[in-house]
Amino acid sequence: MSPGGDDQGMELLREAFDLVLPRHCAGCRAPGTDLCSACAMPLTLPPRPDHRRDVPRLWTVATYDHPVSDIVNAYKEQARTSLAIPLGHALAAGVRSALPP
Ligand SMILES: [Zn+2]
């Protein structure tokens, strides 16, 4: 088998699945992807401190509005488990930021 053969096989399999069960972006419904780069972008921004009063120190990973709210809902309500990866990376970044230096 040539290098990359497994990747080509997986891509062909993915394309076959797309014919039967078309994928769309969880944020904007663009076809052919689970999450487009534009909708993934808010999850890749650096976490920032949230300075609310009367609560322990908080960190904000992303604002819970479009497209992040749509992504979270697609993961939770539609069982789109592929979204666990970008959501997990954002959560991990938030936890790293909250840890003491
Ligand atoms: Zn999108």
**What are the tens digits of pLDDT across the range 4-58?**
578 888 888 888 888 888 899 999 999 989 999 999 999 999 999 888 777 778 8
6 SS3 class: helix
Which pLDDT band, with edges at 50, 70 and 90, does 90 fall under? Answer: very high
- CA 12 to ligand 1 centroid distance, Å: 22
Q: Phi-psi region for residue 59, left (φ > 0), alpha (ψ -120 to 50) or beta? A: beta
pTM (two decimals) = 0.78
Q: Which long-range contacts (CB under 8 A, 24 or more apart) does 49-52 make?
A: none
- CA 33 to ligand 1 centroid distance, Å: 8
CA distances (Å), 84 to each of 9, 19, 50, in order?
23, 23, 24
Tally the domains of the chain. 1
What integer is the mean pLDDT of 48-70? 88
Q: How far apart are CA 15 and CA 1, in angstroms?
A: 21
- The range of the structural domain enclosing residue 76 comes to 5-98
- CA 98 to ligand 1 centroid distance, Å: 28
For Cα atoms 29, 34, 35, give the angle at the middle one, nearest 5 degrees. 75
pLDDT over threshold 80, residue 80: yes
pLDDT over threshold 50, residue 1: no
- Output the pLDDT for position 43: 97
- CA 10 to ligand 1 centroid distance, Å: 22
